[in-house]
Amino acid sequence: MELAHLTIHEVHGKLSRREISARELTESALARIAAVEERVHAFITLDREGALAQAAAADRLLAAGETNPLCGIPLAIKDVLCTRGLRTTCGSKILENFLPPYDAAVIEKLKAAGAVILGKASMDEFAMGSSNENCAYGAPHNPWQLDAVCGGSSGGSAAAVAADECIAALGSDTGGSIRQPASHCGVVGIKPTYGRVSRYGLLAYASSLDQIGPLTKDVRDAALMLNAISGHDQRDSTSVNVPVPDYSAALVEGLAGLKVGIPREYFGAGLDPEVAGAVRGTIRLLAEAGAEIVEVSLPHTEYGVAAYYIIAPAEASSNLARYDGVRFGYRDLAAETLHDMYRQSRSQGFGPEVKRRIIIGTYALSSGYYDAYYKKASQVRTLIVEDFTKALAQCDALISPVAPTPAWRLGEKTADPLSMYLSDALTIPTNLAGLPGISVPCGLSSAGLPIGVQLQAAPFAEEKLLRLAFNLEQRLGLVGRKPALA
């Protein structure tokens, strides 16, 4: 087995015993990229030389006794995170030549730990999408079936992990953008509690919903990545000053004393029978591991998508006003007036889905429509938050599918934005309520595509999610199962 196929905790042992060097590990990942990237298209930008230089630096740290589990680990970084001097496009033409002058807070932390950044992973433009097809640089292909979507918007991160083009990855999740691609690509993905991880240096889509998190090959790696990126940061005013536990200490066997709720609304019409069957199977495993299972209700679940598609575009219309062709990004140099410069630069630089959401958001915030749309959606958001508060008073975590179906074919839903939006119905409410959520692989469809199970918990209860996910993973025995992609 090649080194790039291993997990963080597996290679960390080898690195710290000096059985392998960080350079060999990064070379293994780069060799894997060279072998499969033409088919997978997980990256927008690769930084081979930078990665090898970082690996050499990691080897010096390891020789000096560095014990950080991320030292020397080759990672893929979603192209929504600023990396100093390394092109950051956000999947958009408008940032085709953007070289950030600073690192995002999470990148600072990863670099300080000695991690190696292989490159920038593909994503839907400005993180707007559920299939990664809204990317100005082409869509990644699902490593399990190359004609299927990877999910989105962190599709490149999920694909890179699933295809062993990296050891682990970072993504971001505004309405499911970590969990849904993790589910579709058969990897673990965790969206932390809103405020757990600093958003400083994350290119903003919908600031009240966005959160950065890891995509990994197993639950232990998710805990290690979360240890590395969590924590308070004064540069993000929504960052919460809650102590960061050692998340890997949460990975204990057995679930005695934990109560898991089944939200009945998450098993409604439109749920693929194979997905329902796989998730029901995991519920039995939780019970076998000692968890108590109860049924709960989240009565406003069906309103989540509608509320989200007002709130998120409203925030986006404001956040994306900064792309005006003045300080960074694309400018139409032929424009003769300031207004024409704004309009032409933005119209030529943004893709259709981004324009669609900016227009929806501007409309929802405009005079005369604010109460009918934005205020109404924000009130429904309160109802959704209250649903979770009540349900999570009765149990420690909620179990459900991540997505109603396995991955679909590339091109299948691109003509109908609304049908694409509805595919996020089971992940959006988590963001509206700011909760942590995790996606864990739980089976394969008869067509050979991965199916994931979602766990959600109260704010800052990531340890419960990790413990549940770890026990599921142990009992499912799916770790190490790889796509046939040779």
Partner 1 sequence: MKITAEEVIYVANLARLNLAPEEVGPTTEQLGRILAYVEKLDALNTDGVAPATHALAVTNAFRDDEVRPSLPQQEALANGPQVNGEAFVVPRVI
In the complex, minimum distance from the CB of residue 376 to partner 1, in angstroms, rounded to a whole number: 5
Q: Give whichever of 67 and 366 is closer to partner 1, judged by the CB atom.
A: 366
Between strands 259-263 and 211-216, the pairing is unpaired
Contacts of partner 1 in 445-464 (CB under 8 A)? 459
Residue from the set 126, 137, 205, 350 that interacts with partner 1 by CB under 8 A? 350
Q: Rounded to 5 degrees, what are φ and ψ at 171? A: -135, -170
Under the binding rule (CB under 8 A), the answer on residue 327 touching partner 1 is yes
Which span sits near partner 1 by CB under 8 A: 21-29, 54-62, 163-171, 340-348?
340-348
Contacts of partner 1 in 101-160 (CB under 8 A)? 101-102
Residue from the set 9, 93, 259, 355 that interacts with partner 1 by CB under 8 A? 355
Q: What three-state secondary structure class fits 422? A: helix
Instruction: Render 210-264 in DSSP notation, one character per residue.
Output: -EEEEEESSHHHHHHHHHHHBS--TTSTT----PPP-GGGG--S--TT-EEEEEG
Residues 200-219, one symbol each (x = binds partner 1 by CB under 8 A, - = not), give --------xx----------
The answer to whether 249 and 383 are in contact (CB under 8 A) is: no
Between strands 188-191 and 116-121, the pairing is unpaired
Residues 6+ apart with CB under 8 A from 15: 21, 22, 25, 62, 71, 72
The answer to whether 216 and 170 are in contact (CB under 8 A) is: no
Under the binding rule (CB under 8 A), the answer on residue 18 touching partner 1 is no
Residue from the set 54, 134, 301, 431 that interacts with partner 1 by CB under 8 A? 431
Residues 376-405, one symbol each (x = binds partner 1 by CB under 8 A, - = not), give xxxxxxxx-x--------------------
Distance set, CA 11 to CA 62, 71, 175, 219, 436 (Å): 13, 10, 32, 15, 27
The answer to whether 79 and 121 are in contact (CB under 8 A) is: yes
In whole angstroms, give the CA distance from residue 78 to residue 155.
9
| Closest listed residue to residue 255, CA positions, set 482, 469, 404 | 469
In the complex, minimum distance from the CB of residue 307 to partner 1, in angstroms, rounded to a whole number: 7
The answer to whether 11 and 17 are in contact (CB under 8 A) is: no
Q: Give whichever of 140 and 329 is closer to partner 1, judged by the CB atom.
A: 329
| Residue pointed to by tokens 């459900």 | 400
Under the binding rule (CB under 8 A), the answer on residue 433 touching partner 1 is yes
Contacts of partner 1 in 46-105 (CB under 8 A)? 97-99, 101-102
In the complex, minimum distance from the CB of residue 467 to partner 1, in angstroms, rounded to a whole number: 22
Q: Which residues are catalytic?
A: 78, 153, 177
Q: Give whichever of 217 and 331 is closer to partner 1, judged by the CB atom.
A: 331
Which span sits near partner 1 by CB under 8 A: 146-154, 218-226, 302-310, 447-455?
302-310
Which span sits near partner 1 by CB under 8 A: 2-10, 23-31, 127-135, 324-332?
324-332
The answer to whether 158 and 150 are in contact (CB under 8 A) is: yes
Residues 156-195, one symbol each (x = binds partner 1 by CB under 8 A, - = not), give -------------------------------------xxx
In whole angstroms, give the CA distance from residue 278 to residue 454.
12
Question: Which H or E run contains 25?
Answer: helix 22-40
Residue from the set 360, 425, 449, 461 that interacts with partner 1 by CB under 8 A? 360
Count, residues near partner 1 per rule CB under 8 A: 77
In the complex, minimum distance from the CB of residue 209 to partner 1, in angstroms, rounded to a whole number: 8
Which span sits near partner 1 by CB under 8 A: 12-20, 118-126, 316-324, 436-444?
316-324
Q: Give whichever of 406 and 459 is closer to partner 1, judged by the CB atom.
A: 459
**304 CB burial (10 A radius; 0-12, 13-18, 19+):** buried
In the complex, minimum distance from the CB of residue 170 to partner 1, in angstroms, rounded to a whole number: 21
Contacts of partner 1 in 227-266 (CB under 8 A)? 234, 237-240
| Residue pointed to by tokens 């080897």 | 59
